[in-house]
Amino acid sequence: MELYVKDYIYTQMGILVDLFKMYRRESSYPGIIKPSQLIAITFIAICFFIYNLNSIFTELSTVAIDDNNLIRGSRPNVVEVNNIVQPITRRRQDGMTPQSARVQKMKMQKNESFCLSKLPPQWFKKLPPRRFKQSSIECYKSNERRISTSHPPPRKIVDTNNTIYFLHIGKAGGTSIDELLGNILKCQHRTYVGEKHYDYSYIEQQINMKKQQQSHLRGGSYNDKHDEIEADVITFLRHPVSRAASQFYFSKMLPWAKKQNASFLYQTFDDYLDTPNKTWFQPIFDGESGSDFLTGIFPTSDGHWVASDGKETDEKIYLRENKTAACLLAAQRLEETVWFGLLEDVDRSMKLLQITLGLEATPVLPRANKMQYLHPTEETKKKISKFVPKDIWLYEYAKRLFEARWKYYIGNCPYVSPELPPLPDFG
C-alpha cells in the first residue's frame, strides 16, 4: 500500500513541478519566480487539490484494498469494480493495522455520508424515538420450541460485502425498491443486481459463473474454500390477493394487451374470475406472488418476462408437480434472505432495512407505478384465494418470519424461528 500511496503523491507533486516550469519559461527573468507568480501557482495548486479531494480519498481506498489483495495472493482478481470497499473487519484480518483500518473506515464513512446526503431528502425520515417501543414487544417464552427450517438469525447486509440480489416480484412494490436501494447501495459501493425480474435459479447461475471465472484464474482448479461465493438475497412481498388485483388492472395498460385486443380489457376483475375458459392466467397464477420466484421454477423459454437459468431440470419439474415441496423450499429460502419487506407493513419494513444497511435515518419507500382501481370485495378475495394457495401459505409464513425478525432486531429478543403454518391440501 505504501508504494502505491508514494506513487500517487509523486504524481501530484510532478504536476506542481510542471506548473513551476511553465511559469519559469514564460518569466522575463529566467530562473526567478516573481512573488505574484508564486501566489498564483499556490492558489492554483490549492484549488486543484480541493477539486480532486473526493477522488483522492476514493483512489487511496482502492489502493489500500488492491494492495491487500496482492499481499494475500489467495484470492486474485476477485474484487469487482463496484465492490471494492471491503468490510473493515475483513481488512483487519488481511494484514491492515488497527490504526490504518480505523483511518480507512473513517474515509469510507465520510464518502458514504456525503453521497447519501446528495440523495433526495424525501427518501429518508427521522422517526420519533418512541415510534417503535421496545417495551411493547414481548419476547417468546423460554419454553417455546423452535420448529421451522432451522436457519440461524439473519445477518445484516452491512456486515458483509456480498453481491445483493433483489428478487423483484411483479406488482409488489419492486420498482420503488429498485429506485431506493439502487441509489443507497451505490453510495455504499455495493454490487446490486436489480431492475429486472428473475427467479432463484438465475441467482444460482450467476454464482456458478463467478465460481467458474475464479477457477479459470487458478488454472482450472476448484477450491471450495477460496472459490466460495456468497450472495445476499432480498425481496419484497405483497398479499397475493391485492397483488392479483393490481396485476389485472396494470395489464390493461400494457401494449401487448391492446395490440391483441384482449378480452379482459372489457371486463371487471369479477367478470374475469368468473370466465370459464380463460386463456390468460397471470394475475391468478399460483406462484407469481413469490413462491415460484423463491423456488426458481418459472418457465425457461426465451422471452419469458421472468429470467431464469434457462435450464429445464428434473428438480424444476418435480417442484411444479409437488406443491408441498415447493412451499417448503420457498419458506427455507425466504428465511435465508438477509432482508425482506411486506408492502402491507411498509413502516416497519423500512425500519428493518435501515438496521440491516446501517443507515442513520429510516428510508422512505418512494411511490412508483401508482394506480387507482376498485379494490376487491370480500367475495372477490375469496375467489382469488382459491387460485393461489401456495402464495397465500407463503405469505402467512412471511408474516410470522417478519415478526420474528422484528422481535430480534427491535425488541432485542433471542431469535426464535417461527413455526410453519399448516400446509394447504393441494389435492
Nearest to 199 by CA among 306, 299, 327: 306
> In this model, does residue 146 exceed pLDDT 50?
no
pLDDT score at 369: 72
DSSP string covering 136-147, please? GPPPPPTT----
Q: Report in angstroms the alpha-carbon separations of 83 from 63, 176, 186, 370.
A: 13, 23, 10, 33
Share of the chain above pLDDT 70, in %: 66
pLDDT tier at 84, thresholds 50, 70, 90 = very low
User: What are residue 164's DSSP bridge partners?
Assistant: 192, 232
By CB atoms closer than 10 A (0-12, 13-18, 19+), residue 283 is buried
Among the residue ranges 74-83, 261-270, 314-323, the one predicted with the least confidence is: 74-83
pLDDT digits (tens, 9 = 90+) for 150-207: 567 888 999 989 999 999 999 999 999 999 999 999 999 999 999 999 999 999 999 9
| Residue ranges covered by each domain of the chain | 2-117, 143-409
Coil, helix or strand at residue 388: coil
d(CA 167, CA 294): 8
DSSP string covering 33-91, please? --HHHHHHHHHHHHHHHHHTHHHHHHHHHHHHHHHHHHHH-SSTT---GGG----HHHH
Q: Report in angstroms the alpha-carbon separations of 19 from 22, 323, 413.
A: 5, 73, 63
Coil, helix or strand at residue 40: helix
d(CA 379, CA 164): 40
Residue 99's H or E segment, with its range, is helix 98-117
> In this model, does residue 104 exceed pLDDT 70?
no
> In this model, does residue 101 exceed pLDDT 90?
no
What cell numbers appear for 50 in the block? 480541493
What cell numbers appear for 122 in the block? 424525501
DSSP string covering 253-299, please? TSHHHHHHT-GGGG--HHHHHH-SS-S--GGG-TTTTTHHHHHT-S-
Mean pLDDT of the chain, nearest integer? 77
On whether the CB atoms of residues 128 and 347 are closer than 8 A, the answer is no
Q: Domain 143-409, what fold?
A: Rossmann fold (3.40.50)
Coil, helix or strand at residue 358: coil
Phi, psi of 233 (to 5 degrees): -100, 135
On whether the CB atoms of residues 87 and 65 are closer than 8 A, the answer is no
- Looking up cell 393461489 gives 388
122 compared with 311, residue with greater pLDDT: 311
Nearest to 417 by CA among 36, 149, 176, 177: 149
35 compared with 395, residue with greater pLDDT: 395
DSSP string covering 176-220, please? HHHHHHHHHHHHTT--EE-SS-B-HHHHHHHHHHHHHHHHHHTTS
What cell numbers appear for 417 in the block? 424461528
pLDDT score at 265: 93
368 compared with 142, residue with greater pLDDT: 368
pLDDT score at 213: 81
Among the residue ranges 212-216, 280-284, 363-367, the one predicted with the least confidence is: 212-216
> In this model, does residue 346 exceed pLDDT 70?
yes
Beta-strand relationship, 124-125 and 362-363 = antiparallel
72: number of Cβ within 10 Å: 12
pLDDT digits (tens, 9 = 90+) for 106-141: 555 556 776 877 677 767 766 555 455 554 677 866
Q: Report in angstroms the alpha-carbon separations of 276 from 267, 268, 270, 273, 323.
A: 13, 15, 12, 8, 24
pLDDT score at 8: 46
What cell numbers appear for 291 in the block? 413462491
d(CA 280, CA 275): 11
